[in-house]
Amino acid sequence: MQIYAEKSKKLVRELKTSKWLPPYNSGLINEISTEITELHGKVVESLASQNDNLAVLQAGCIERNKRGVLAYLNYRASKLESLRVENGPTIPPHYSHQLSSDEVDYFRKYSALLQEYSSKVCEFVDITADLVPPKDLFIEVRVKEEIGDIVLPVSGQVTFKKNTAQLVRREEVASLVRQGVLKQTK
């Protein structure tokens, strides 16, 4: 006898064993979808032959598969939402290969909605910023990766060369600090 719902268990287990997110597993999701369709047919057959106990067991396997896939997708969506708050509106290159095209599209649309909401609430407040007010307007940062010249909204053009220190406005470089390109010194 085939063991049902093991694939959805494997799908959820992938999330547990990865550091951030495992690469999107469309193959396993398709296999689970096929299993659900197969089980649905068996439930109909079991009900037709009046084998209610077997039908209940098979329906339970369908529900377990659905819960596993939904948990997988929900976890991935929440990670993308957290990534948007932590890194700003761009997906870091080292994460992009782990996402499906639908997840990249979700991230883009979520970013647009967050930006639209933020602009309607108040144009001067970044709702993705820290909830604790900063003590200083300027922070000292050390450049970890070569960036080159960047034009910041208030400070103007700033050159970020690797292993140099800069005194910059906190809100202008917050996303670069979160991405790990700059490191705030104490």
Name residue 161's amino acid. Answer: K
What is the model's pLDDT at position 132? 66
Q: Nearest CA to 172 among 184, 164, 186, 185?
A: 184
**DSSP state for residue 4 in the 8-state scheme:** P
- Higher pLDDT: 6 or 186? It is 6
**Domains in the chain, CATH or no CATH each:** 6-121 (1.20.58.1030), 138-184 (no CATH)
- Give phi and psi for 148, each to the nearest 5: 95, -150
Distance CA 134, CA 173 (A): 13
Asked if the model's pLDDT at residue 23 lies above 70, the reply is yes
Radius of gyration of the chain (CA): 24
What is the model's pLDDT at position 110? 94
Proportion of the chain above pLDDT 70, given as a percent: 92
What is the model's pLDDT at position 9? 92
Q: Considering the chain, what is the average pLDDT of its residues?
A: 88
Q: Buried (b) or exposed (e) across 146-172, using 16+ Cβ within 10 A?
A: eeeeeeeeeeeebebeeeeebebbbbb
Classify 165 as helix, strand or coil. Answer: strand
Burial class (CB within 10 angstroms; exposed 0-12, middle 13-18, buried 19+) of 20: exposed
Q: Nearest CA to 127 among 84, 95, 177, 67?
A: 84
pLDDT in tens, 34-70: 999 999 999 999 999 998 899 999 999 999 999 999 9
Lowest mean pLDDT across 64-78, 127-141, 148-162: 127-141
Burial class (CB within 10 angstroms; exposed 0-12, middle 13-18, buried 19+) of 87: middle
What is the model's pLDDT at position 40? 95
Size of the chain in residues = 186
Asked if the model's pLDDT at residue 154 lies above 90, the reply is no
Average pLDDT over residues 96-114: 93
Distance CA 133, CA 135 (A): 7
What is the model's pLDDT at position 1? 43
What is the model's pLDDT at position 77? 96
